């Protein structure tokens, strides 16, 4: 698995407290992630989730250019990671792992002791990132894994 390393030319930052421009970048990435979704639906989703105090966002940038995002929700006293997305041309460079590590750190700082995520069995990248970050995996149905990490 690739590990992200900042260089003189590329510096990765992950923002957790999103403001105006961050939300525009997040909408841009969500549109890339869901190319068949109407922009109005993406904006509606973002406004709805952003006003929910139990939803958390992470935005990854390289040199101020948006390259990935994640979001999670508070579920039964735990953080449930709902999505991590990295632009296709930026994948396999350790960015997803850095976003996952930021989720873990944020969860601990907010007082949560458990992070979960449901992963489709065919999503090798997500399974690999989750294992590398210390998540325990167990089968969930015939084609998913439940990943759990206690922080």
pLDDT of residue 18: 84
Do residues 117 and 109 make contact, with C-beta atoms less than 8 angstroms apart?
Answer: no
All structural domains of the chain, each given as residue ranges with its CATH number in brackets, are: 12-112 (3.40.630.30)
Structure-token pair, residue 52: 């929910």
What's the longest Cα–Cα distance across the chain?
Answer: 45
pLDDT tens digit at each of 151 positions of the chain: 667 888 889 999 999 988 888 988 998 999 999 999 888 888 888 888 877 778 899 999 999 999 999 999 999 899 999 999 999 999 999 999 999 999 999 999 999 999 999 999 999 999 999 999 999 999 888 899 999 999 8
Q: Using CA atoms, how far apart are residues 92 and 47, in angstroms rounded to an integer?
A: 30
pLDDT of residue 47: 81
Put the strands of the sheet holding 136-140 in their side by side order: 12-15, 55-62, 65-75, 78-86, 114-120, 144-150, 136-140
Contact partners, residue 6, CB within 8 Å, separation at least 6: 12
pLDDT of residue 49: 80
């Amino acid at each position: 698995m690739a590990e992200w390393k900042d260089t003189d030319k590329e510096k990765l930052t992950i923002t957790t407290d999103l403001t105006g421009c961050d939300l525009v970048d997040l909408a841009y990435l969500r549109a890339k992630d869901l190319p068949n979704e109407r922009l109005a639906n993406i904006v509606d989703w973002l406004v709805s989730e952003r006003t929910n105090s139990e939803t958390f966002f992470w935005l990854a940038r390289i040199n101020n250019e948006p390259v990935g995002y994640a979001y999670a929700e508070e579920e039964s006293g735990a953080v449930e990671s709902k999505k991590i997305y990295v632009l296709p041309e930026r994948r396999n460079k350790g960015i997803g792992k850095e976003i996952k590590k930021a989720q873990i750190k944020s969860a601990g700082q907010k007082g949560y002791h458990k992070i979960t995520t449901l992963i489709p069995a065919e999503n090798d990248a997500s399974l690999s990132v989750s294992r590398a970050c210390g998540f325990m995996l167990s089968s969930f149905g015939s084609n998913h894994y439940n990943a759990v990490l206690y922080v």
